[in-house]
Amino acid sequence: MTIDNTAPVVSLTVQYDGATQSYDGTLNYNCQLSDAIDSTLTTQSFLVVHPSGDTPSSTTLTRSSDDNLQFTDTDYAGDYVFTCSATDAASNTATSTATVTVGELGRINRIDNTSSSGNSNKWIYIALGIVVLYFLFNKK
């Protein structure tokens, strides 16, 4: 029996696609998801949160067969936060985010691909600790 306490691996990269930056520029959004124990991930989500005041306030992206997603709604100035997350069968989760700063007329000013986090299933450790303590203190 294998106890899965490792979070999935999520690798997110956002890149500008085009020679010039202008209104409604295209961003290539690549999110690689994998898990060492589970071959399939139970939940995958791909989301872009738009700057405050933009309509819509967020966009859910759909993965294509080549793992690339494209986002073209960069006509509103501010920070767009791209998020890629996964959950495996043991409820371990991982999330990676990138922030794209868009200036006036849709010009991409900065892309920050640095934020990622994993949250392994802590309940397994707690349950194992309780079982060990039970056997240690209930010797007869």
Q: How confident is the model at residue 128 (pLDDT cuts 50, 70, 90)?
A: low
User: Is residue 46 included in any domain, yes or no?
Assistant: yes
CATH code where residue 90 lies = 2.60.40.10
38 lies in some domain? yes
Q: Please report whether residue 2 resides in a domain.
A: no
On whether the CB atoms of residues 25 and 19 are closer than 8 A, the answer is: no
Q: Vertex 15, ends 119 and 115: CA angle to 5°?
A: 25
Q: Which residues contact 71 (CB under 8 A, 6 or more apart)?
A: 26, 27, 29, 48, 59, 61, 80, 82
3-state secondary structure of 10: strand
Residue 115 lies in a domain: yes
Domain count, the chain: 1
Which 3 state secondary structure label does DSSP give 88? Answer: coil
Give the mean model confidence (pLDDT) for residues 59-65: 74
Question: Range of 75's domain?
Answer: 9-137
pTM of the full structure: 0.71
| Residue 4 within a domain | no
Amino acid 137: pLDDT: 76
